[in-house]
Structure 1
């Protein structure tokens, strides 16, 4: 087990090293001066420019420049944003909670819909129920997320006028920024009657959450269905039926747990899909998260923000993937037995 953990950590470190190398290279590959690209400081005197160039070791070898870059990264210094002239890491931490909140709700919807439907389709294999669930899932999986988001806006916002088009909250409500998680910030606010604010916030959440949850839900349904079919065909399920256990008892005691275990290592795939879709969804619904922030940086050619986004978001995704593999190994005795020989 220790050897396995060392291999996972080694994979994580190696991948992060390659990512940092790529992010460092962008500082030289982007148009403009490397000092400005790395620091984001534009209005510099000659003395300040010379000092920064010396601090970044830009007159020395690329190896020394990379070492200095790593020191800055570990210190949390990603430079200043061209547009806001504030620290990039501070801006990232300001927009990250909004993306995390939206992703959490979408993941919750994915599990609440994907697991029961996948379980139902697997148990009712080759029946009308299975075919209907599989067909709807396949259709939903084939729809581009940006088209789906626009379709939701057209139907529920413009035609039916049930839900707001964009944003997180009506401009009438000025909620102070505390944690960046809107529902928590509403609870911490000084408003006496918070229910209208919660109602408005939830109405703003519905469309982006459903849009974001669609693709991961279809993937989870397919995974769950395949796992349930595999478990239902195993010998211990046949033995349980022979003992006279009901279908409900078989599902509760054997099928559900054993069908969920193989999904844990696939959580990384679901999370990667979720993160990619989050950025697109934020752009469609003007959600003030990482995707919206990164798109503005690309439009404005804010190179320090682009560099930091590449490194921070990719590192987070890789960490979640490695963590899901380790968690699967910890909770699955068969995998532990295989690793331990």
Structure 2
């Protein structure tokens, strides 16, 4: 087990090292002066330019420049944004909670919908309900997320006028920024009657959450269905059914637990899909998160923001994947037995 953890840690460090190399290279690959690309400072005097160039070791070898870049990364110095002229890491910390909030709600919807439907389809395999769930999942999986989001806007916002088109909250409500998570900030605000604000915030959440949760839900349904069918075909389940144990007890005591274990390492895949879809969803619904921030940076050619977002978001996704793999090993006795054996 110790050797396995060392291997996982080595994989994490190696991948992060390659990511840092790619992020460092972007500062030289972007058009323009590397001093400006790395720092984001556009209005510099000759003395300031010379000092920064010396601090970044741009006259030394690439190896020394890379070491200086790593030192800046570990100290949280990603330069200044071209557009806002504020620190990139400060903008990232301010914007990230909006993306995390939307991703969390979509993940909850994915679990609440995907797991029961996948379990139901697996238990009732080859039945009418299985065919309906599997067909609906396949159709939803084939629809591009940007087209699905626009379709939701067309139907529920423009035609029916049930839900708002974009944003997190009506502009009439001025909620002070405290944690970055809107529902928490509403609770911490000084407004007397908060229920209308909550209603408006939840109405703004429905369309982007459902849009974002669609693709991960279809993937989870397929995973859960496959695992349930595999468990139902095992010998101990067949032996339990011959003993007269009801299907409900078999599913509750044996099938559900054993079908969930193989999904844990696949959580990294679900999370990657969720993060990628989050950026697209934020653009469609003008959600002020990382995806919207990155798109604006690309339009404005804000190189420090592009460089930092690549490193930070990719590192976060890789860390979640490795943690999911380690957790699966810790909770699954069969995997531990194979490693120890």
Q: TM-score band, normalised by the shorter chain?
A: over 0.9
TM-score between both structures, scaled by the size of structure 1: 1.00
Counterpart of 2:76 in structure 1 is 76
In the alignment, the residues of structure 2 paired with residue 229 and residue 291 of structure 1 have an alpha-carbon distance, to the nearest angstrom, of: 37
In the alignment, the residues of structure 2 paired with residue 98 and residue 338 of structure 1 have an alpha-carbon distance, to the nearest angstrom, of: 41
Secondary structure at the aligned position of 1:262 is classed as: helix
Counterpart of 1:322 in structure 2 is 322
Cα-to-partner distance string for 1:168-217 (whole Å, 9 max, x where unaligned): 00000000000000000000000000000000000000000000000000
Counterpart of 2:151 in structure 1 is 151
Structure 1 residue 67: Cα displacement: 0.1
Matches within 5 A, 1:147-226: 147-226=147-226
In the alignment, the residues of structure 2 paired with residue 238 and residue 101 of structure 1 have an alpha-carbon distance, to the nearest angstrom, of: 43
Matches within 5 A, 1:283-294: 283-294=283-294
Cα-to-partner distance string for 1:22-69 (whole Å, 9 max, x where unaligned): 000000000000000000001000000000000000000000000000
Counterpart of 1:109 in structure 2 is 109
In the alignment, the residues of structure 1 paired with residue 336 and residue 244 of structure 2 have an alpha-carbon distance, to the nearest angstrom, of: 32
Secondary structure at the aligned position of 2:121 is classed as: helix
Counterpart of 1:126 in structure 2 is 126
Secondary structure at the aligned position of 2:192 is classed as: coil
In the alignment, the residues of structure 1 paired with residue 126 and residue 237 of structure 2 have an alpha-carbon distance, to the nearest angstrom, of: 19
In the alignment, the residues of structure 2 paired with residue 47 and residue 182 of structure 1 have an alpha-carbon distance, to the nearest angstrom, of: 44
In the alignment, the residues of structure 2 paired with residue 226 and residue 244 of structure 1 have an alpha-carbon distance, to the nearest angstrom, of: 25
Structure 1 residue 239: Cα displacement: 1.4
In the alignment, the residues of structure 1 paired with residue 6 and residue 61 of structure 2 have an alpha-carbon distance, to the nearest angstrom, of: 32
Matches within 5 A, 1:1-341: 1-341=1-341
**Gapped regions of structure 2 (runs ≥ 5):** none
In the alignment, the residues of structure 2 paired with residue 244 and residue 339 of structure 1 have an alpha-carbon distance, to the nearest angstrom, of: 36
In the alignment, the residues of structure 1 paired with residue 236 and residue 195 of structure 2 have an alpha-carbon distance, to the nearest angstrom, of: 51
Structure 1 residue 243: Cα displacement: 2.1
Q: CA RMSD in A?
A: 0.4
Secondary structure at the aligned position of 1:103 is classed as: helix
In the alignment, the residues of structure 2 paired with residue 290 and residue 236 of structure 1 have an alpha-carbon distance, to the nearest angstrom, of: 48
Which segments of structure 1 move beyond 6 Å, counting only runs of 4 or more? Answer: none
Cα-to-partner distance string for 1:126-182 (whole Å, 9 max, x where unaligned): 010000000000000000000000000000000000000000000000000000000
In the alignment, the residues of structure 2 paired with residue 157 and residue 236 of structure 1 have an alpha-carbon distance, to the nearest angstrom, of: 51
In the alignment, the residues of structure 1 paired with residue 236 and residue 330 of structure 2 have an alpha-carbon distance, to the nearest angstrom, of: 23
Secondary structure at the aligned position of 1:261 is classed as: helix
In the alignment, the residues of structure 1 paired with residue 198 and residue 248 of structure 2 have an alpha-carbon distance, to the nearest angstrom, of: 38
Secondary structure at the aligned position of 2:265 is classed as: helix
Structure 1 residue 276: Cα displacement: 0.3
Structure 1 residue 240: Cα displacement: 1.1
In the alignment, the residues of structure 2 paired with residue 76 and residue 245 of structure 1 have an alpha-carbon distance, to the nearest angstrom, of: 59
In the alignment, the residues of structure 1 paired with residue 173 and residue 240 of structure 2 have an alpha-carbon distance, to the nearest angstrom, of: 57
In the alignment, the residues of structure 2 paired with residue 136 and residue 27 of structure 1 have an alpha-carbon distance, to the nearest angstrom, of: 45
In the alignment, the residues of structure 2 paired with residue 22 and residue 249 of structure 1 have an alpha-carbon distance, to the nearest angstrom, of: 52
